[in-house]
């Protein structure tokens, strides 16, 4: 059904999507274990390709050296932020002394962050291979090539933003942008996969008019994206409470309006996903991709709600934090692909 060159692209693209979710998982583990500053420099770790395993292996005077380098990078970043009209943010980057606070060496945290970076590098290579293999679509479907190349540029920006995350000592809003950009990269990869598979296999799409279902899927996806933004804000508040020495048992009680909005959006997303599931079940055969991904989305939203309940009722355990983040990204991918599958087949 698919020519050999197109099969290569589809396989490469599918692998890229899997690796993207792995890097999100690795990032979630880094965040839940507090390993974000395990490597004080970027792209190397303590100026080494292979990071140290013992404090005796650290470069002499590395604290001052890396703090000075981060300060210079932050000044350049502040100028860029200011050029976009965010003078208040730029001023905070320039004068917030906590950004340059040194963190004591911890081998476990260092290697956790280092593995996260290795998975990120693997993601970059996967995207490069996908872009190269997409050359086969230049004549038949040039948009696949265009989006694949664009994704390589987006991941370069993501890598640069990762260095800013380190230099600003995990500044909250930058972490949020970093997460949203990761979802954009996932969305582009899923979109090119969708374009490539439906180019030859028209049976994936069913020639019916179902604008309501597509609109419902789009609304659910947008609400979930907003929920992710509020979720990252809640996570930032939790990190702040932990840094202040507040007991873990009191974290949930001290969360403000962002937590309430996040919970409300979670219930709305649950309701929309269930509604979409039953509408698709009544319209599509159980053998279709639409039906399959409706089941996947339903299962993921169930796990997502369960992990949220565990976070709220059992004092925010680290494993549930990672699970909550990873399942949210998987649910985003499943709902996005499901929305694409609602597209009407062109005659």
Question: Among 1.10.10, 1.20.120, 3.10.450, 1.10.20, what is the CATH number of 204-347?
Answer: 1.20.120
Specify the pLDDT at position 116: 87
For the chain, residues classed under CATH 1.20.120 are: 204-347
Specify the pLDDT at position 275: 93
Write the pLDDT tens digit of every residue in 130-168.
999 999 999 989 999 999 999 999 999 988 887 777 667
Residue 43 preceded by cis peptide, ω within 30? yes
Q: Name residue 45's beta-bridge partners.
A: 48
Specify the pLDDT at position 138: 93
Specify the pLDDT at position 286: 83
Specify the pLDDT at position 98: 66
Long-range contacts of 82-87 (CB under 8 A, 24+ apart): none
Contact 58, 105 (CB under 8 A): yes
Specify the pLDDT at position 210: 67
- Given a cut of 70, the residues of the chain with pLDDT beneath it are 1, 61, 65, 96-102, 166-167, 169-172, 206-210, 344-347
* Rounded to 5°, angle at Cα 128 from 122 and 134: 135
Q: Which of 128, 101, 97, 88 is nearest to 36 (CA)?
A: 101
Q: Residue 206: left if φ>0, alpha if ψ -120 to 50, beta else—which one?
A: beta
Q: Name residue 48's beta-bridge partners.
A: 45
Query: pTM of this prediction?
Result: 0.87
């Amino acid at each position: 059904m698919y020519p050999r060159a197109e099969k290569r692209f589809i396989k490469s693209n599918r692998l890229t999507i899997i690796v993207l979710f792995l890097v999100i998982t690795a990032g979630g583990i880094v965040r839940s274990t507090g390993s974000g500053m395990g490597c004080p420099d970027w792209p190397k770790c303590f100026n080494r390709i292979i990071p140290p395993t013992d404090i005796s292996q650290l470069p002499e005077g590395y604290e001052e050296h890396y703090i000075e380098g981060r300060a210079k990078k932050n000044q350049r970043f502040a100028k860029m932020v200011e050029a976009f009209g965010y003078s208040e943010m730029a001023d905070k980057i320039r004068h917030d002394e906590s950004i340059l606070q040194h963190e004591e060496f911890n081998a476990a945290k260092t290697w956790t962050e280092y593995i996260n970076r290795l998975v990120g590098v693997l993601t970059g290579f996967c995207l490069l291979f996908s872009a190269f293999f997409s050359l086969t679509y230049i004549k038949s479907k040039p948009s696949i090539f265009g989006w694949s190349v664009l994704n390589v540029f987006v991941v370069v920006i993501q890598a640069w933003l990762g260095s800013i995350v380190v230099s600003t000592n995990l500044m909250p809003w930058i972490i949020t942008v970093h997460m949203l950009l990761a979802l954009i990269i996932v969305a582009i990869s899923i979109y090119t996969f969708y374009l490539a598979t439906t180019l030859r296999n028209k049976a994936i799409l069913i020639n019916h008019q179902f604008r309501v279902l597509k609109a419902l899927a789009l609304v659910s996806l947008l609400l979930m994206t907003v929920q992710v933004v509020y979720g990252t804000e809640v996570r930032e508040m939790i990190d702040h409470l932990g840094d202040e020495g507040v007991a873990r048992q009191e974290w949930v009680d001290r969360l403000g309006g962002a937590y309430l909005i996040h919970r409300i959006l979670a219930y709305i997303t649950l309701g929309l996903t269930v509604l979409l599931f039953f509408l698709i079940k009544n319209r599509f055969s159980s053998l279709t991709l639409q039906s399959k991904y409706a089941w996947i989305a339903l299962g993921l939203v169930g796990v997502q709600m369960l992990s949220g309940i565990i976070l709220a009722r059992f004092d925010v355990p680290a494993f549930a934090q990672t699970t909550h983040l990873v399942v949210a990204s998987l649910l985003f991918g499943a709902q996005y692909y499901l929305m694409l599958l609602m597209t009407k087949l062109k005659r």
